[in-house]
Structure 1
Amino acid sequence: MPLSKLEYWAKRLYQSRNWRIFFTAILLLMVLDIAFPVKVNPQYSTVITDSDGKILHAFLNPHDKWRMQTELKEITPTLEKAIIFKEDRWFRYHFGINPIAVGRAFFNNIIKRRRTSGASTITMQVVRLLYPQERTYWHKITEMIRAIQLELHYSKDEILQMYLSLVPYGSNIEGLKSASVLYFQKSPDVLSLAEVTALTIIPNRPSSLRLGKNNTYILQERNKWLQRFAEADLFASQDIEDALAEPLQVRRHEAPKLAPHLAYRLKTTYPNEPTIHSSLHRNLQLTLEKIVQNYVNRLYGINIHNAAVLLINNQTKQVEAYVGSADFNNPIDGGQVDGIRAIRSPGSTLKPLLYGIAFDKGIITPKSAINDVPSNFGGFEPENFDKQFHGKVTAEFALANSLNIPAVKLLKDISTASMIEKLKKAEFQTIKKSASKLGLSLALGGCGVTLEELTNLFSSFAHQGTFTKATLLAEENPNKPTEILSEDATFLINQILSQITRPDLPNNYEYTYRMPKIAWKTGTSFGKKDAWSIGYNAKYTLGIWIGNFSGEGVPELSGANIATPLLLDIFNTIDYNSSAKWFSPSANLAMRKVCAETGAIPSEHCNHQITDYYIMGVSNTQSCTHTKAVWVNPSATISYCAVCMPDSGMVQKQYPVFAPELIAWYQTRHIQYEQIPPHNPQCTRVFNNNAPIISSPNDGAEYWIEPNEAVKLQLSCQVGNDVKMIYWYINDKLYQKSAPQQETFFYPEAGNIKISCTDDKGRTSHIYIQVKRN
């Protein structure tokens, strides 16, 4: 079969000596390219932009130069046409070298012995900017070889981008974007034709054409090139006329320095990224920075010097404002400390999560009764912020009023491990590290957290209990969602935290009719070193921390009075007259009648009933037992048990059932309550249940006493409603008998001591302590 012409010539070429030479040359170039690869590492300045791509903050590169990378999207058609027309009209067609220009330059330099035109293409200029060397013929040859290499590895757009990012503009300014930002205070993509032309002509003479110093001369040269553009019909005539009429009044400006805390954080996190697109919204950032600075200035008089604010968009899960301190440039008060990442004590801000877990476990519903009375938890005796106790309260009242004893009781019921597990899911890093050391004080802020962690946690309350860590970048959030609470429990939390009849609503804010509906929780750390207020609605979650970075406490510092006013001011500013809908109850939530005394399902003796939310299939369904039937004589002065009940003359009566600690509190406060009459004194039965609970001293505790010092310890216990007398024993010897509410003390001797308490029903409890002398 005869060969086709193409096959014929291919065979001839393969057999020819020229083909072997060509193949050898190609192979040699490939080997040289591998042996001496082109290295492109220009070390750009780090630039942080907002969500719209506008520059927020810029940093010098490691060589103290402003060398901002021009992004491809910033190279407009106007900019590209002007640069290519002036520098390299055949840029899009050659392979890195323009043979005609090289021949012309060689002829002028060798034959005419003078240099009238250069042969450098844009690609060759990029090589010279990447590898600056003395200008010799040998270096020119290596420059050409490198240009071919660059063309092999990079597209024309990428090479043009490198050129625009590296061209010199005098002083320490390199790159068109750097010049555009520092002189015109705008990015390259919004430059006018006149501004583009001015920046196009400067790189060839950066010393003589210095913007801000030689503006008149630059204007003349700019207009000359505009005339050339007109002659070449490069741009529309009207555009040229407008550009010629545009004045040139520029000077050098400072680089943008907004959102400094976030800028330094992102620069450290992404050290090799020349441009980092943050999620911040410029106007929100500027507004919040100003509000925070003005607010803290007003607090200086009471020795409060700093604040931090974080704003998360709940729909996008992006951080839209990041204020690390009141004034970054204030070295006296630690302005450069990033308060958003500083580890502080959270105070009461973790309580909503605690109550949410209790809702999900079915332990409580909003109307469940909890006793807010002095309590001892193995030596831990918490107090409320106001040093007061409220007796029997509902769960929603306890959370809305941030009561401490109910919170600790709930944590004990759900277990510290359950709470820690939830916090780990919410990415609380310090809690992950110190989990084994945390106890019941966790409910009151006995741990370390950051404002960022808290704000992200509260943002999950606005997302049906689903946690997704907010991103700092202007991209779709890559973090995976994790369920922290059920949608049911989250709705109950939202309802409680949005109440405005509560003590942490600042004075004069109840009449703020335009304030958007928000849920919020305050917190104040021990020693009044940290004031917190975290608020949210469907649109935003806003986290506020106020205090001193030095850790100095201030008597006036509190979440309610200091942090919440700032929270409400910001919400009024950024979400004024918001029309955003409030959260809706889930399908698994329903309403039911409950006893007002306990919050449990009413029994036949529950006369006062109210409605309450409950989670179907989860919430406790036990009936109320807040009263019990007692047989008494007709005058209700003696009670009977089954052993001593008379044949006739007795009646059955309902008496309230109170926990021993609540009775003890009633007695110390002299609050009247209906008591069960004393038991029949002639009864011989010994009761074994409901023995006294010894609350002081602490079982298993060690007490150190100074030599020759008489120290007394208090004896106290909690007993049932029917106990009228108790008996104290020290090392099995009767020490004193007293009424349950009577204060009793004893002077301990060194050594192991057994303390016993017996009530008038014969029920006994024992504890053991150890007393040592220093």
Structure 2
Amino acid sequence: MNRRTGLRLFGGALVAVLLLLAGLDWLFPVPAAPQYSPLVLAADGSVLHAYLNPTQKWRMKTELREITPVLRKAIIEKEDRWFYWHFGVNPLALVQAAGRNVFGTGRTTGASTITMQVARLLEPKERTFGNKLLEMARATQLEIHYSKAEILQLYLNLVPYGGNVEGVKSAALLYFQQPPDYLSLAQTVTLAIIPNRPRGLVLGKNNAAVLQERNRWLRRFQEAGLFARQDVADALLEPLEVQRHAAPTLAPHLSRRLVQQFPGRAIIQSSLQRNKQTKAEDLTRNYVRRLHELGITQAAVLVVNNRTRQVEAYVGSADFHDFGSQGQNDGVTAVRSPGSTLKPFLYALAMDRGLVTPKLVLPDVPTNFQGYRPENFDKHCNGEVTLERALAYSLNIPAVRVLNELGVANFTDKLRQAGFQSVSRNRGHLGLSSILGGCGASLEELTNLYVTLANGGHYGKLRLMRTSRRTSPPNPLSKREGELDLNSSSKKLKASAPSLLERGLGGEVLLVSPAAAFLTTDILAQLTRPDLPLGAASSMRLPKIAWKTGTSYGRRDAWSIGYNKQYTVGVWIGNFSGHGSPALTGADVATPLLFNIFNDLAYNSPNDWFVPPAALDFRLVCAETGLVPNETCPNQIIDYFLPGVSEGRRCQHQREVLLAEDGSFVYCRACAPAAGFRRALYPNLLPEVAAYKEAQGIPYQRLPPHNPQCQLVRGGRESAPTITSPTANTEYVLNRHEQQQLLLSCTTDNEVRQVYWYVNDKFLRAAAATERVFFKPPPGPLKISCADDHGRNTDVLVTVNEL
């Protein structure tokens, strides 16, 4: 056989062997990855919450960076000092072990390498000679697939520590309450020696035996030159007083949410700050405990860093383990009535449309908006108020009026852009009541809306996951089990998850202008307001924040959401059962907790505040209306406005009239005589404002009646009464057994003194212009008519049915 033929035969044999090995590797793949205990970490990497794995074991994944040089040296010296030199099986150790076992000399051993132990831990089998051969084959296979560092990592994740505790990290957290890379030399050696005797050396039960064995190995490691003499001396003096502790259970609601979002993932790093989370949980639990006697059992809190939009504290309920109060419900994501918390956003949108400015005066009188009659929270009207007072005092009627002018569709479209899921699902079914809590919202959605105001109107998704430039080392078995790293998980989430998680890390949307956001913030930061908690104004700990409260119908939900430049904090308080409480209001119940959280979490934050953007400017406006003054506006004040956006309508709060010499009546241009009259200025009030003042007995300068001799205005409809009740083209269902009646009311011009009501063209009765008239209508279609004392008439058609 020549040399060339020999090389060919050798090459063919080598290829055959490689093909055989590849075939065996394909037929008998590497064992499946171990099922780890899901861990949710804080932003600093500490463990917030740990869960049992699917087999009910504490098997927390030890990352490569947590394997310290001390731990690595101790394990390798004790278990397999030739670990880095063999290929899964140590032939020399096999020969030595066989000699000891056959001739009975020395300690009987199995010569298992760390890699062979990994193979056995991945596939536990009865200890027989045949299984030992399979174990060696598996060890060789593992060496082909994984690096030494990855094999060591697997070993440290699988070694037993007694009971249902497996892995170095599980033992470190459950016994020493520290991750492996924070342990001392003595603690590290303690964990290194237990896996061979997990039943005899049980931490918390056999501490004396563990201490003796630990010190014995410390001396052996010193003799081997692994650690410095002084370090070992210090370690020998360290006491061992340990017991098993409960696994970490901070942030249970967010942890559950993230684990459900990332099934099968061993380590999830959240955006939470551990100290803020702990304080928020403690404050919430202790605060709600004091509310129990008021029938209030739950609360939820969200703390957001405005700059990063990362959630730094997430409290889903006052007590996760309070089953009687449904503590496992997540109040951060629960959809509830938002009360008045949407009003700041409405006014900001209206400012951007040029409809309002802070000093604009709005009517605050009983008003019928096409059948919808809102009331203020205290059932009281103020006649007229500025926009800033309407927002600071959370008045309902002015807010509905502004929404009616802005348009419900324009408002709800912005809410959809802001991620309000309930609004998106109810497209086309929301009305004017949405500004008073008629649409559903979650604390997460509302808080992010205020983060948007804090960020100058820029909206982006909240971030519940920490973003980091550092990439973790590859997981040994991730290829097979699909354990994704942070980047790949984010991509998966972007494609499939509708929640406010990592998928929203992209660009932001400008929902309101920086100018409108600043003006809204400026109003919300005012301290002269009714929702300031009692005694808070004199407190030295009153935080510098802008905030808004809200209370839902039936006092079922109390809200208070505030922000400064650094943080936004959202608070909800109520009952998950939906039961209300007479004491449940945003001002009295939710705001004190909001202030407590700001004082504890952000009291020492930089004392900077929002500054007006360049797009804002000042102008003089009439104090009576908030509009650009004319020559009849002596009282003028300064107001912010958006140049080129805010309307420049001139004030008409007074109108010039032609008055008879004795002041008994007024003339129109058509009936004014050539002489014998004088010019005078009278308040130009809206009809509904004049009617309210008349009904409340509020004095004002009322216009005298029109010239009774004037024939041109009789029968005219341009100033005819406006029927405010009943609503035109509406069906009314009345209960005949309760003798229910129908309300007749209208608004008229100032000069009208009396009106006349007709039903189906039959005279009903005369009444004062502002009087509310009740009558029992007959069933069927009705024509309701109202005529004033000038002969002007208005009709509406309604239908009445009886039950």
In the alignment, is residue 369 of structure 1 matched against residue 361 of structure 2?
Answer: yes
Go from structure 1 to structure 2 and tell me whether the alpha carbon gap of 1:641 and 1:455 turns closer, same or farther (over 3 Å shift). Answer: same
Whether the 8 Å contact between 1:638 and 1:677 is mirrored in structure 2 is yes
Q: 1:690 aligns with which of 694, 703, 719?
A: 719
Residue 21 of structure 2 aligns to a residue in which SS? Answer: helix
Higher deviation after alignment, 90-99 or 204-213: 90-99
How far is the alpha carbon of 1:171 from its aligned partner? Answer: 0.9
Q: Distance in 1 between matches of 2:709 and 2:540?
A: 67
Asked whether 1:757 is paired with 2:786, we answer: yes
Specify which of 525, 532, 545 is matched with residue 518 of structure 1: 545
User: What SS does the corresponding residue of 1:722 show, helix, strand or coil?
Assistant: coil
Residue 304 (structure 1) shift = 1.5
Q: Which amino acid aligns with 1:229?
A: F
Whichever residue aligns with residue 466 of structure 1, its letter is H
Matches within 5 A, 1:380-399: 380-399=372-391
What's the counterpart of residue 593 of structure 1? 620
For 2:199, the equivalent position in structure 1 comes to 207
Q: Contact 2:618 / 2:638 at 8 angstroms: preserved in 1?
A: yes
SS in 2 for 1:435: coil
C-alpha displacement at 1:25, in angstroms? 0.9
Q: Residue 641 and residue 38 in structure 1: after superposition, are their counterparts in 2 closer, same or farther (change >3 A)?
A: same
Q: Are the equivalent residues in 2 in contact too, given 1:663–1:721 (CA < 8 A)?
A: yes
Alignment-mate amino acid for residue 675 of structure 2: S
Give the structure-1-normalised TM-score.
Answer: 0.95
Are the structure 2 counterparts of residues 514 and 708 from structure 1 closer, same or farther at C-alpha, using a change threshold of 3 Å? Answer: closer
Partner residue in 2 for 1:678: 705
8 Å contact kept, 2:743–2:772: yes
Note the C-alpha offset of 1:567. 1.1
Partner residue in 1 for 2:216 = 224
Structural mapping, 1:253-272, within 5 Å: 253-272=245-264
Structure 1 residues 281, 330: closer, same or farther in 2, change over 3 A? same
Aligned to 1:289: 281
Q: Distance in 1 between matches of 2:286 and 2:240?
A: 37
Alignment of 1:400-549 (within 5 A): 400-475=392-467, 479-480=505-506, 481-549=508-576
Q: Which amino acid aligns with 1:436?
A: G
Report the alpha carbon displacement of residue 147 of structure 1 after superposing the two structures with TM.
Answer: 2.1
- Give 1:49's aligned residue: 41
- Residue in structure 2 matched with residue 173 of structure 1 by the alignment: 165
Bigger Cα displacement from structure 2, 416-425 vs 681-690: 681-690
Question: Given that residues 691 and 759 in structure 1 are in contact (C-alpha distance below 8 angstroms), is that contact kept between their aligned partners in structure 2?
Answer: yes
Task: Give the letter aligned to residue 187 of structure 2.
Answer: E
The 1:20/1:397 distance shift into structure 2, 3 A limit, reads same
Deviation per residue, 1:351-382 (Å, 9 max, x gap): 11111110111100001111010011122111
TM-score by length of 2: 0.92
For the 8 Å contact 1:360–1:486, the answer to whether it is kept is yes
Deviation, structure 1 residue 179:
0.9
CA distance in 1, matches of 2:105, 2:793: 117
SS of structure 2 residue aligned to 1:85: helix
Q: Does 1:740 align with 2:766?
A: no
Equivalent runs, 1:5-44 vs 2, <5 Å: 12=4, 15-44=7-36
Q: Which amino acid aligns with 2:185?
A: L
Structure 1 CA distance for aligned equivalents of residues 132 and 162 of structure 2: 24
CA distance in structure 2 between the partners assigned to 1:594 and 1:708 by the alignment: 55
Pairing 1:247–2:239 present: yes
Contact 1:514 1:577 in 2 (8 A): no
State the Cα deviation string for residues 511-530 of structure 1 (Å, max 9, x = none).
12342310000000000111
User: What amino acid does structure 1 have at the position aligned with 2:615?
Assistant: N
How far apart, CA to CA, are the structure 1 residues paired with 2:155 and 2:791?
95
**Aligned in 2, Cα 1:327/1:13: closer, same or farther, shift over 3 Å?**
farther
Structure 1: distance between partners of 2:651 and 2:85 = 89
Residue pairs, 1:184-195, within 5 angstroms: 184-195=176-187
Quote how far apart the aligned CAs of 1:385 are: 0.7
1:257 partner SS: coil
Q: Counterparts in 2 of 1:571-720, with a 5 A limit?
A: 571-576=598-603, 578-686=605-713, 687-707=716-736, 710-720=739-749
Structure-2 separation of matches of 1:148 and 1:625: 93
Q: 2:320 aligns to what SS in structure 1? A: coil
Q: Percent identity over the alignment?
A: 52
Q: Residues 548-576 of structure 1, C-alpha deviation per residue, up to 9 Å, x if partnerless?
A: 12111111111111111111122222222
Q: Secondary structure at the match of 1:772?
A: strand
Stretch deviating more after TM superposition (125-134 or 759-768) = 759-768
Gaps of 5+ in 1: 1-8
Deviations along 1:18-41, one digit per CA (max 9) or x if unpaired, are: 111111111221222223221332
Relative to 1, partners in 2 of residues 1:708 and 1:71: Cα closer, same or farther, differing over 3 Å? closer
Q: CA RMSD in A?
A: 2.0
Which ranges in structure 2 are unaligned for 5 or more consecutive residues?
A: 469-501
Q: Which moved more, 1:697-706 or 1:66-75?
A: 697-706
Cross-structure match for 2:484: none
Higher alpha-carbon deviation: 335-344 or 459-468: 335-344
User: Residues 26 and 114 of structure 1: is their aligned pair in 2 closer, same or farther, counting only changes over 3 Å?
Assistant: farther
Question: What residue number does 1:556 align with?
Answer: 583
CA distance in 1, matches of 2:437, 2:695: 29
CA distance in structure 1 between the partners assigned to 2:548 and 2:233 by the alignment: 62
- Which stretch of structure 1 is more off in the superposition, 732-741 or 23-32? 732-741
Deviation of residue 135 (structure 1)?
Answer: 2.0
What is the CA-CA distance between 1:577 and the residue it aligns to? Answer: 5.0
Q: How does 1:43-122 map to 2 (within 5 A)?
A: 43-108=35-100, 116-122=108-114
User: Does the CA-based 8 Å contact 2:101-2:109 persist in structure 1?
Assistant: no
